[in-house]
Structure 1
Amino acid sequence: MIRSMTAFASGEREIRDWLFTWEVRSVNHRYLDLSLRLPDAFRFLEPAARSRVGALINRGRLDCILSYKKSVEGGADIRMNRELVTKLLATAREVDDLSDRPLAGFSALDVLKWPGALHEPEADREQLAAEILDLLTDVLKQAIVVRENEGRQLAALLKERCVKLREHVSSVRARMPEVLQSIRQKIMARLAEVCANPDSERLEQEMVYLAQKLDVDEELDRLEAHVDEVLRALRQKEPVGRRLDFLLQEMNREANTLGSKSADAETTKASVEMKVLIEQMREQTQNIE
């Protein structure tokens, strides 16, 4: 199954009065480049989270973000740090006494905003760990579905261009005898202008040499073989992005050689069209896992 490397997925789950949310963003990359953003209280999950990602995804730049908060259904169990608040108020009164003029007042909410003034019980990290990781797995599977859906579209585009490449190869192959015959006629006409009795044996030798020089059968055969291999790779279940990239490099090399051996405008045009198609395929392959 061909997969794209672009995806976004998110999921949330209430776990023991806490609401946890994972977000996964994925873009293309040569290798698996994973960035995990975890709250300080759950940084201990990083090795296990990396293992979950690596088991499901092979390539791509992934940002996995975990956030959590107290759920509405779970209610709020907030307690005031009475000792700290008492000290804050006493200190505020001392500052007010030292001032030669009244200072701006403050509200109870201002005091409660002071770090540590309120205490909210933390989640039991160890008990929550397994379910948090299971939620990550679910979100990763959602991202994989997105990648597979886009991968099917990319595979269809690649197959379409493979069909067009085959058409160009067949066209060039069918035209080569006509090209060689045309060159032979031009040479014969040129010789007739300068020589009344041209050496037919020497002419045949030159034609053999020219035919060998312009022979593109090997390039056309390799192009067809590479197209077959691309289509075979698109049917594989394992990731094939790197293999496709290599095949397209080889196809571009053959198309360049075909252009350099071209002896007429139609063959040159076909070579250019092939390189355009191959470049389009390479751009699409950059996003395949």
Structure 2
Amino acid sequence: MTALSGMTGFGRAEGAAGDWSWTVEARSVNGRSLEVRFRGPPGFDALEKAARDAAQARFARGQLTVGVQARRTAGQGALAINRAALDQYLALARELEASGATPASAHGLLSLRGVVEVAEEADDAEALAAVQSAIAADIAAALDALKAAREGEGAALRPVILGFIDRIETLVGQAETEAASQTDTIRERFTRRMRELAPEADGLEDRIVTEAASLAVRADVREEIDRLRAHIAAARALISAPPAGRKLDFLMQEFMREANTLCSKSATTALTAVGLELKATIEQLREQIQNVE
């Protein structure tokens, strides 16, 4: 059975190759669909596609952020003389010597800012590609860690969600019991009212029977009860076959629609009380479903 997954979590991976080292962090929060944001170092543009492809292979929903920080250890490099800067310093030195100043020494000139530079070695394309491939592998590792964290959240959510579904089933059973007495309640209420308003009217008993039957039909909630039971079965099936967050979102709307109709048809305070508690429980379930992938 596929594990139920939440949508919040964090994953991290680190790596190094040659004179490069890096850290990858992946985190996610709730989202109606899958959205991936990437932040990476300059010159590693291909990593964004790698991050998006890896995320899409692992997740169906959630707002994901993948960040890569890469550092390169400074190498010794080759020393080079900045001839333009040296010539400027030499020209100034000669002017000062003409005024009686001590002649400039080679040591002094070489210590001046900008005269001696470290020449950076050009990046080897093959080596850089290898580094990029290694970082992409650690992006996948960070996303795997994120997936494990989200599944941990899902494991905690599962019993909570199933508990709410069980509570809804109990309330639907109570509603069915209360609804069974509605017909008698409606008939008694209507009979009493008619006899108060028109005690001497001709054909009163026949009219009472007809009108009471019409009211009972309009207050019949058997269809709503049947649909709620079907929704309960569907919810349990979806929980057992994730990812199903979007379908569960839609199902919560159907749950609430039937509960609202049940309340509107209620003819007794007892059934209304059950209907209101049912709506409150459905809303609590909906809040938990928002966290499901």
* 8 Å contact from structure 1 (residues 166, 227) kept in 2: yes
Aligned residues: 272
* 8 Å contact from structure 1 (residues 12, 135) kept in 2: yes
Distance 1:13 1:183, change over 3 A: same
1:126 correspondence with 2:129: yes
* 8 Å contact from structure 2 (residues 4, 154) kept in 1: yes
User: Residue 40 of structure 1 aligns to a residue in which SS?
Assistant: coil
* 8 Å contact from structure 1 (residues 192, 198) kept in 2: no
| Paired position in structure 2 for 1:77 | 75
Report the residue type matching 2:157 in the other structure: L
* 8 Å contact from structure 2 (residues 190, 212) kept in 1: no
| Paired position in structure 2 for 1:195 | 199
1:235 Cα offset (Å): 0.3
Larger radius of gyration: 2
User: Residue 41 of structure 1 aligns to a residue in which SS?
Assistant: coil
**Structure 1 gap segments, 5+ residues each:** 99-107
1:110 Cα offset (Å): 11
| Paired position in structure 2 for 1:163 | 166
Instruction: Return the alpha-carbon distance in structure 2 between the equivalents of residues 111 and 163 of structure 1.
Output: 77
1:83 Cα offset (Å): 3.0
**Structure 2 gap segments, 5+ residues each:** 97-109
| Paired position in structure 2 for 1:105 | none
User: Residue 291 of structure 2 aligns to a residue in which SS?
Assistant: coil
User: Residue 5 of structure 1 aligns to a residue in which SS?
Assistant: coil
Determine which of 272, 278, 283 is the counterpart of 1:279. 283
Report the residue type matching 2:213 in the other structure: V
* 8 Å contact from structure 1 (residues 191, 198) kept in 2: no
User: Residue 43 of structure 2 aligns to a residue in which SS?
Assistant: helix
Determine which of 181, 184, 187 is the counterpart of 1:184. 187
Report the residue type matching 2:258 in the other structure: E
User: Residue 256 of structure 1 aligns to a residue in which SS?
Assistant: helix
Percent pairwise identity: 32
Distance 1:209 1:91, change over 3 A: farther
1:111 Cα offset (Å): 4.8
Distance 1:141 1:190, change over 3 A: same
User: Residue 2 of structure 1 aligns to a residue in which SS?
Assistant: coil
Report the residue type matching 2:237 in the other structure: R
Determine which of 206, 231, 255 is the counterpart of 2:259. 255
1:117 Cα offset (Å): 6.0
* 8 Å contact from structure 1 (residues 77, 121) kept in 2: no
| Paired position in structure 2 for 1:150 | 153
1:18 Cα offset (Å): 2.3
1:28 Cα offset (Å): 1.4
1:47 correspondence with 2:49: yes
Distance 1:32 1:118, change over 3 A: farther
1:221 correspondence with 2:226: yes
Distance 1:38 1:92, change over 3 A: farther
Cα displacement string for residues 231-264 of structure 1 (whole angstroms, at most 9, x for unaligned residues):
110000x410100001001111111111111112
* 8 Å contact from structure 2 (residues 35, 62) kept in 1: yes
